[in-house]
Amino acid sequence: MDAIACTVLAAISCVSVRALDPNFAANWSLSSLTPILFLSAYLPLKYYRIFLYPWYFSPYRDLPTPTSNFPFFGQALNFVQAKSPIELYVQWMKQYPSAPVIRYLTFGNTEVLVANSLEAFRELLQTKCYDFKKPDRWHRIVGEIIGKGVINMEGDDHRAARKMLTGAFNVPNSRKLIPVFQQKAGEVSDLFERAVQAEKEESKKGTGVFAAVDTFQSFTLDVFGVVNMGVELNHLGSITFDESKAGREATEKKTVWTFHRAYETIFAPGPLGGILMFANGFLPVRWLPLKENKDFKDACAFLKATLKKLISERKQAVHGAMRAGTYKKADSRDLLTYICEDMFPGGPAESLTEYNLLGHMLQFMAAGGDTSANTLSWSVYVLAKHQDIQDKLRDEILTLQQTQPDPPYSAIDALPYLDAFIKEILRIYSPAATVHRQAIRDLTLDNIFVGEGTVVDGVWAVGHFNPLIWGDDVDEFKPERWYPENVTKEMKSLYAFQAFSNGPRICIGKAAAMIALKTMFVEMVGKWKFSEVEREPVIENPSLVLKPTQLRVRVGRV
């Protein structure tokens, strides 16, 4: 906008000068004069906005603001150098624990606000949810990955999409998926068995080592393949143990794209790939002739082409059978089939386009698969590090299985320590690191003015690590804090714990995710012991999620 305004101003000034002084026109043409006038207006304005406005004129200048800024880049370089995507936010929260909102500067000294109080989160996510939109830079970062679906829809479009999709994700329908979760959990057990058989050291026979993220990404992709698309991807079965992930990646690169390889390329691209992803939010960099950009584009193209073909074929098959009167609805069916049924003329999703359906499917696979895989990876890390917690969780599961060899999910869901363990994992290691919103009008957050166009970051760790909510032991992993007798008034707030977000944009797959996690833990912890961490995790940064790469864990039969 500044550049447009300066261009118009320069043109007007140039015409005015020529009109007032005809002799001046003899020496200066309009084309040569305009750039000079443009720069004379543009450069002072940019200097004002970058170096003066944030400190002396901004309405946010008196808000708590972290120091250690880089000239022009603000905190942007600190984010890249941080140990994790949430590290700086947690530091700032602990510096200003009672502040409603915190301000920081980023690229070009642009101001960004961070919701810091429960009330600020409540208004950002619930009461004023539709007074915000996804920021333009966020769309530039993830637009090529997730297409146009429910996650990046706004206003009435988002309300309509949520209403259309809610039925497929409600608790009764989610519970119908338990056989799928159980089958895939059993395949993870088979993988652990292969890891044990592959162990070469005599002193460690009876145990084996597996790559946690690789294993659980394969699990979640296989689950989502069946649940979302009705197809078997069989990523778990393809894992080998010649250095596990390294061996399989070498095989994949010699053959063809797979869902696993595509999502690894997109969401675990390496240091340069991660920097390119986030830099693209500020400056267009995807055109640069770099291998990371080519791999990213090829991965996105593979996912879109594969899903587009599957959607077209499934829609034709479902609608053809419905027109012929031969279609029979199954009691439990995959999401794609469910939506295709609703897209039939007269159905609740009749107006849904295949383009938007492609967006929905891309988003469910990306958002659900990667976050669940990271949660499971952090879980085995904690279990291996805290044998007392693992023993207590196993005792609870085995006690149930002794009384009910094949327990119904209702009994699993009622296990108090399992429920507390999963909540504590999600508190400390929330897989989705941040959400970003941009105000579409002037408003307030917890009585703090937020102007139209201002970006506000919502970071779950800000609330999850606040000692004013969780107490002085906030950094400790303590499942017992979730027992009813230990829950404080502050902890009871919906906005104290929000690993799945809250409000109209709460994770649509929350119920299914919790069922999948509990089903997996009953299978894993009841049969397997995670004895030690062979390789400590490296948290990927910059990243959209809290991802523990390189994590390798030793496992053996109970």
Rg of the chain in Å (alpha carbons): 26
Nearest residue to 19 via CA among 9, 8, 30: 30
Residue 37 is predicted with a pLDDT of 60
In the DSSP assignment, the letter for residue 490 is T
Q: Which of 208-212, 244-248, 293-297, 499-503 shows the lowest mean pLDDT across its residues?
A: 244-248
Structure tokens at 432: 């989705």
Mean pLDDT of all residues in 266-277:
80
pLDDT in tens, 365-412: 777 778 899 999 999 999 999 999 999 999 999 999 999 988 999 999
Pairing of strands 434-439, 455-459: antiparallel
Is pLDDT above 80 for 41? no
- Rounded distance between C-alpha atoms, residue 427 and residue 516, angstroms: 18
Mean pLDDT of all residues in 137-141:
82
Q: pTM of the entire structure? A: 0.86
pLDDT in tens, 454-494: 999 999 999 999 999 999 999 999 999 999 999 999 999 99
Residue 9 is predicted with a pLDDT of 44
Confidence of residue 247 (pLDDT cuts 50, 70, 90): very low
Q: What's CA 288's distance to the chain center, in Å?
A: 25
231 touches 225 (CB < 8 A)? yes
Is pLDDT above 80 for 34? no
Mean pLDDT of all residues in 164-171:
84
Residue 233 is predicted with a pLDDT of 87
Is pLDDT above 50 for 442? yes
Confidence of residue 17 (pLDDT cuts 50, 70, 90): very low
Between 360 and 1, the higher pLDDT residue: 360
Using DSSP, state whether 220 is helix, strand or coil.
Answer: helix
Is pLDDT above 50 for 254? no
- Rounded distance between C-alpha atoms, residue 18 and residue 194, angstroms: 82
Residue 334 is predicted with a pLDDT of 86
Q: Is 147 left (phi over 0), alpha (psi -120 to 50) or beta?
A: left
Residue 5 is predicted with a pLDDT of 47
Residue 2 is predicted with a pLDDT of 53
Looking at the chain, the whole-number percentage of residues with pLDDT higher than 70 is 90
145 touches 544 (CB < 8 A)? no
Is pLDDT above 80 for 502? yes
Q: At what angle do helices 291-324 and 271-279 cross, to 10 degrees?
A: 70
H/E element, 552 = strand 552-557
Is pLDDT above 70 for 428? yes
- Rounded distance between C-alpha atoms, residue 225 and residue 208, angstroms: 27
- Rounded distance between C-alpha atoms, residue 431 and residue 547, angstroms: 7
37 touches 5 (CB < 8 A)? no
Distances (CA, A) of 68 to 14, 51, 76, 137, 272: 43, 15, 11, 24, 24
Give the CA-trace dihedral at 429, 433, 439, 442, to 10 degrees. 40
Structure tokens at 445: 């957050």
Between 144 and 342, the higher pLDDT residue: 342
Residue 23 is predicted with a pLDDT of 54
Structure tokens at 294: 């080519």
Residue 31 is predicted with a pLDDT of 57
Q: Which of 74-83, 143-152, 301-310 shows the lowest mean pLDDT across its residues?
A: 143-152
Strand residues in 173-325 grouped as ranges (E): 207-211
Mean pLDDT of all residues in 102-125:
96
Confidence of residue 32 (pLDDT cuts 50, 70, 90): low
DSSP string, 167-183: GGGSHHHHHTTHHHHHH
Confidence of residue 15 (pLDDT cuts 50, 70, 90): very low
Residue 22 is predicted with a pLDDT of 54
Residue 129 is predicted with a pLDDT of 96
- Rounded distance between C-alpha atoms, residue 23 and residue 50, angstroms: 38
Confidence of residue 42 (pLDDT cuts 50, 70, 90): low
Confidence of residue 164 (pLDDT cuts 50, 70, 90): confident
Residue 11 is predicted with a pLDDT of 47
Nearest residue to 456 via CA among 101, 54, 2: 101
Kindly tell me the number of DSSP H helices and DSSP E strands found in the chain.
25, 12
Structure tokens at 111: 């101001």
The per-residue pLDDT of the chain, averaged, comes to: 87
Mean pLDDT of all residues in 30-48:
67
Mean pLDDT of all residues in 67-79:
91
Q: What are phi and psi of 344, to 5 degrees?
A: -65, 145
Confidence of residue 440 (pLDDT cuts 50, 70, 90): very high
**Most confident stretch, 53-57, 207-211, 431-435, 544-548:** 207-211
Is pLDDT above 60 for 245? no
- Rounded distance between C-alpha atoms, residue 353 and residue 359, angstroms: 10
Confidence of residue 149 (pLDDT cuts 50, 70, 90): confident
Residue 133 is predicted with a pLDDT of 95
Residue 319 is predicted with a pLDDT of 94
Is pLDDT above 60 for 290? yes
Using DSSP, state whether 236 is helix, strand or coil.
Answer: helix
The type of residue at 355 is: Y
